[in-house]
Amino acid sequence: MVNKDNIKKEDRFYVTTPIYYTNGPVHAGGAYTTIAADILARWNRLKGKEVFFLTGTDEHGKKIQEAAEEKGVEPKKFVDDIVAGWKKAFQLLNISNDNFIRTTEEGHVKEVQKLLQDLYDKGLIYKGSYESYYCIGCEQYLTEKDLEDGKCPAHNRVPELRNEEAYMFKLSKFQDELLELIESGRYCILPEIRRKEIINFIKDGLEDVSVSRLKENVYWGIDLPFDDNHCTWVWPDALWNYLTGLKGEGVFDKFWPPNVQLMAKDIFRVHATIWPALLLGAGCELPSTLFIHGFFTVNGRKMSKSLGNVIDPVELTNKYGSDSLRYFLMRNIPFGYDGDISEKALVDRHNYELANKLGNLVSRVSSLAEKYGLEKNTKDTDLSMKVERVEEFMNNYQFDKVLNEIFSIVDDCNEYIDEKKPWEDGNKKVLYIVASKIKVAAILLWPFMPNSSEEIARTFNFEIKLENLKKPLEISQVKKAKILFEKKEFSEDSGKIERKKNGEEKDSKDKGEGVVDFKSWQKLDLRVAKIVEVEDVENSEKLFKLVVDIGREKRQLVAGLKESYDIEELKGKKCIVFVNLEPAEIMGIKSEGMILAAGKNSRLLEPDEGIGLGSKIE
């Protein structure tokens, strides 16, 4: 496959996100990657390039199959409902993607089958068997050195040791070629720490990987074209979306290969090994750059609904607006690194930087311009050095530095207008200088905060175009701007505890069930209990059926502790139980309360020794 389109490489831009797994609603990580990709897409459109921005959903695999079975619905119906939520969330976040690819689309299925047949015909896929540790949570194989205390570190679960018939892809054949491509920089991996990490990983040796599953074990996938007893393993299926997402729109020749592919570090090994090897095997040109961003913590702790510290991008957008969330996520953490976020930090930036600095500036200047008018004065309006720095930072994916540079313009404007005091003498030339700089800031901000930038452009009557950075602001009738950013209040008391339901963390908006305000603690009846019986819940990855002794009686509970404990480990443990919650039926099993667990691994909160069963926790 060759890029046959006449468009010059430097005049087009193709950016991708990973496709997101459809086992739950949109999450902060997915929003973060997609907002970053949207910023790059908008920036390159601003520069006049032809842009294609691809995102979408990964809809096959055992996790989806099992989740659908637990819900009692067909897998396709299950993923359709999830996908609708992701699309709605991306609209809310003002994502400007050109295509939303789904791996259940007919065109994608046919292209994956064509790829697999081609690799099979070339002898790059062969029938064999494998034995390896496999984590269902990651949908990845792990070596012993990847494990921590015998468990997958990402999901805190013991992986399965699998040995079964499978078709294998000759990944090992491409080891030396991949190493040379990455070391030379022709396959560019950023940041540098990730490049070094993958080089060391490849030097340890690449093993052939399975590209199929026996249908008797996993039926929810793309049929293998050369063996009806197998379906395609999730990674070849998922990774090929980056091609099919273009082909389905008829623009493959124009945009392939990607200029940059964004992803989090938990999936970058696959993208740095299996993905380029598949492309090499198929005779496709490799992407230019993989950029890997970091993970979030919230108030210094790993995000977990059981801790009540999940950052829900939809909820935050509804509360503060998409521009505020987009700004915060890109300003608060250097892109490519781990960082800490919190709703309080978002509110602080929203109020201090967006409302006080930018919003107040636009309000003051537009109000004065409406009253006194503007008079052309190009003295001290040249910001070319700042524009150059913004472009340099954008080219290096340093989004926080871009925003810092733009807001230095906002700060300069506020200082200048405070110094000149045009409200005292109605100086139209001073107002023109400040309005001109606001124009530059708004144009540069547009990729990050499109709604606010467009509102500023309407206020001062200019278009969001890169060439307008250097053009003088046209004199026009200015009307006072509406308030761009309403100030917000944050209270710790607004936090909520998420109750586990059906072995999963329940959405706090779902009928209000399982949500307890901190103010309601005094209404809760928490009792010391002892786990006396533990049974596995069939067909569930997470659930145990427990019998607990709370002194005066015994109760049956269903709890999602399977990822954190073995059956024998739980027996005899003391715990704390909410005993005055309404009984619930979970997978047909009555549950009469809820066990209190916390921490990154959902560990039980155990009472002090000597406290009797049934004692109330005050």
Domain ranges of the chain: 9-294, 340-469, 494-604
Among 385-389, 483-487, 587-591, the least confident range: 587-591
Give 413's Cβ-side CA count (13 Å radius). Answer: 31
| Of the candidate ranges 298-302, 382-386, 426-430, 474-478, the one whose mean pLDDT is the lowest | 298-302
pLDDT band at 303 (very low <50, low <70, confident <90, very high): low
Of 251, 224, 245, 228, which is closest to residue 236 (Cα–Cα)?
224
Closest CA to 188 of 292, 91, 293, 343: 292
pLDDT at 498: 33
Mean pLDDT throughout 523-552? 86
Q: φ, ψ for residue 460 (rounded to 5)?
A: -100, 5
Lowest model confidence (mean pLDDT) among 19-28, 195-204, 519-528? 519-528
Residue 515 has pLDDT above 70, yes or no: no
Strand-strand pairing, 230-232 and 260-264: unpaired
* Average pLDDT of span 197-209: 95
β strands within 511-570, DSSP E: 515-517, 526-536, 544-549, 554-559
Q: Are 292 and 32 in contact (CB under 8 A)?
A: no
Answer with the residue of higher pLDDT: 297 or 243. Answer: 243
Query: Are the C-beta atoms of residues 343 and 325 closer than 8 Å to each other?
Result: no
The predicted model gives 221-228 an average pLDDT of: 96
State both tokens at 398: 């340093």
Quick check: 127 and 208 in contact, CB under 8 A? no
What residues pair up with 49 in beta bridges, in sequence order? none
Angle (nearest 5°) at CA 135 between 134 and 137: 155
- Section 588-602 average pLDDT: 81
Helix (H, G, I), strand (E, B), or coil: what is residue 106? helix
Q: Which helix (H) or strand (E) holds 129?
A: strand 125-135
Give the helix, strand, coil percentages of the chain, each rounded to 5: 45, 20, 35
C-alpha dihedral (496, 501, 506, 508), degrees to nearest 10: -40
pLDDT band at 163 (very low <50, low <70, confident <90, very high): confident
Q: Which residue has the tokens 């990455």?
A: 182
C-alpha to C-alpha distance for 379 and 382, rounded to whole angstroms: 8
**Please, what's the b/e burial string for 467-487 (b: 16 or more CB within 10 A of its CB; e: otherwise)?**
ebbeeebeeeebeebeebbee
Is the bond preceding residue 450 a cis peptide, omega within 30 degrees? Answer: no
Look at 576 and 581; give whichever has higher pLDDT.
576
What values do phi and psi take at 563, rounded to 5?
Answer: -75, -15
Block residue for tokens 């013991």: 158
> How does residue 6 score in pLDDT terms, banded at 50, 70 and 90?
low
Q: What is the pLDDT of residues 95-111, one digit of tens each?
A: 999 999 999 999 999 99
Residues facing 30 on adjacent strands? none
- Mean of the pLDDT values across residues 30-36? 95
Portion of the chain with pLDDT greater than 90, in percent: 65
CA dist 77 and 104 (Å) reads 11
Residue 216: Cβ-neighbour burial (10 angstroms; 0-12, 13-18, 19+): exposed
- Rounded-to-integer distance, Cα 365 and Cα 425, Å: 14
* Whole-Å CA distances, 224 to 119, 148, 279, 484: 12, 34, 18, 54
Q: In whole angstroms, what is the distance from residue 117 CA to residue 249 CA?
A: 23
Work out the average pLDDT over 432-445: 97
For residue 538, what are the contacts with CB-CB under 8 A and spacing of at least 6? none
Which 8-state DSSP code applies to residue 48? T
Residue 38 structure tokens: 């949207």
Distance, CA of 443 to chain centre: 26
> Residue 312 is which amino acid?
D
* Burial (CB count within 10 angstroms: exposed 0-12, middle 13-18, buried 19+), residue 4: exposed
Helix (H) or strand (E) holding 236: helix 234-239
Cα angle 138-145-176, degrees, rounded to a multiple of 5: 85
Q: What is the pLDDT of residue 600?
A: 59
Which is it for strands 50-58 and 99-102: parallel, antiparallel or unpaired? Answer: parallel
Beta carbons of 275 and 182 less than 8 angstroms apart? no
CA distance 547 to 613: 14
CATH number assigned to the domain covering 340-469: 1.10.730.10
Q: 532-559 burial, b if ≥16 CB within 10 A, otherwise e?
A: eebeebeebbbbbbbebbbeeeebbbbb
Q: 77-115 burial string, b = 16+ CB within 10 Å, else e?
A: ebbeebbeebbebbebbbbebbbbbbbbbeebbebbbeb
User: What's the pLDDT at 1?
Assistant: 37
The CATH architecture annotation of domain 494-604 reads: Beta Barrel (2.40)
Q: Is the whole-model pTM more than 0.85?
A: no
Element (H, E) at 388: helix 384-395
CB 276 within 8 A of CB 187: yes
Q: Are 41 and 53 in contact (CB under 8 A)?
A: yes
* pLDDT value, residue 499: 30
Write down the CATH number for the domain with range 9-294: 3.40.50.620
Least confident range of 11-15, 294-298, 608-612: 608-612
Q: Matching CATH topology for 340-469 and 494-604?
A: no
